[in-house]
Structure 1
């Protein structure tokens, strides 16, 4: 499995939910961060989106915007009207999923906007390296036009069909469609990258991608810098230098961080013993694993599991 595919498998993008927002007059909504990907497809009108860090985007009819990390944000009809009371839509994905939510003054025929809002659950800890490398907004213009990529037109066509029909297996299909949209957006972003030091470059690098695929595919293996270099058909020194330059840390430091993120995922899932987890992430003993885990998180594996299952 290639590195990008394995990374998306690791982050467990699943349980995609959506609501329709029918907005008119003066309106505003807020979305609270929930460790989930957020996306908006604007079918009519326009929306001013602003992240809590101040970044802003104007999203118009026919546009798709992804907020990969799902950080808190605010949407409104007019960014000048800052005193508008914002409706929190964060809980509506659970309470009103698949339904149409009316916001604003439905008697007014101005500032009309109709959008599909999507929430896709992920393992935010496993996704951290990916999200750190992605922009806060991923904005694709004119997705409904003939100039839009064919993959996007096809994906949205299926999304529209599945969203309007309650058929067996629909939830699973929606999960796959959201995953496809996310992966394709990341692919497109990588092709346009100008930052040579961005971690995402390594996923498509002709040599380094083999090392990442090996680390993510077999984290339990006793990898060394030499054995990882062999995966890339490179000398040890050239591999180590290139890896550190692009990834921003040494190969073994990256390997350790990935193992600990993977271990934290297994601990939260609660299905394996700590000894089993230690071996699955490449530690020869439970003691060595526990010491390393506590040094990184300040909690023992047992304490971490209890904290996240309480």
Structure 2
């Protein structure tokens, strides 16, 4: 596995379930407040045409969004979407009406030209409070389709999502949801490539030496890695590798490996009915009992209980 593939290896650990809620078509004056989501749900907005503003009341931050921008709120923060010339505290009335086009609910306050068109929804992250990747993301992830290596692909995905939902054909909602799931992975990847933060998992993946070590762990999570071997793969000394991991992710390399193994195991438990002993061996545990102890210590439940819980959801 190459270093750029490390994020692709981590992406399945997000366990994303997208839910497209509505398409918005608004004129000049509008505001749409969104309450904080319950844990595990992250709202997102895709600007398919025009421009608008997202305001975060808790931090007081306002972010202007334009065609092709995607914003994801990993922690489910309360926010207000509004027009460029509308105050976030404006209460209306804005004359917003809703109709079902056969694929999705459409909200609009104009029969003429629009100033902003959005696809809005939310993503469900399984075990959000303990997720290795999700915990590293900031309050708001904003990616523009106008820049970056993935710009063209993001624009195409957005266009496909819009086309499916506007058409209202049979199966459109399911197809658009799958496209939105792919779009999320690209948004996280694009954020990684442009992130400026120095103390997160994203910074760890973006670091030349640490990124190589993480890629090696993902390629062979069951290998009995030593610090010497990881340092060799990373083209680094042991001390330097430990410093990078602690600075970027506040965790030592081998402790990170344990976290990663257990996250991979949890995904395998949720996605199959395979024997626990097989899954334990695949992530580096010599016995089912050792795996069960480590799993319960980390998540508070035994592996079998975690599997049953995932089926209930």
Alignment of 1:1-310 (within 5 A): 1=1, 2-13=5-16, 15=18, 17=20, 19-22=22-25, 28-30=32-34, 32-33=37-38, 35-42=40-47, 43-44=49-50, 46-50=52-56, 53-54=58-59, 56-60=61-65, 62=67, 64-69=69-74, 71-75=76-80, 77=82, 78-81=87-90, 98-102=103-107, 106=109, 114-125=117-128, 128-140=131-143, 149-165=151-167, 174=176, 177-269=179-271, 271-310=273-312
* SS, match of residue 258 in structure 1: helix
| Structure 1 gap ranges (5+) | none
Question: How far apart are residue 101 of structure 1 and its match?
Answer: 3.1
Kindly indicate whether the alpha-carbon contact (under 8 Å) linking 2:277 and 2:288 is maintained by their aligned counterparts in 1.
yes
State the Cα distance separating 1:307 from its structure 2 match: 4.2
Distance between the aligned counterparts of 2:134 and 2:239, measured in 1?
Answer: 29
User: Whole-Å Cα distance in 1 between the matches of residues 140 and 71 of structure 2?
Assistant: 6
Q: 1:155 to 1:102 in 2, by over 3 A?
A: closer
Separation in 1, partners of 2:64, 2:7: 28
- CA drift of 1:253 comes to 0.7
Cα distance change, pair 302–131 in 1 and its aligned pair in 2 (3 A): closer
TM superposition shift of 1:8: 1.4
Q: Deviations 1:224-263 (Å, cap 9, x if unpaired)?
A: 2122222223333332333333232111111111122222
Moved more, 66-75 or 221-230: 66-75
Q: Where does the alignment leave 5 or more consecutive residues of structure 2 unmatched?
A: none
* TM-score, scaled to structure 1: 0.74
SS of residue in 2 equivalent to 1:272: coil
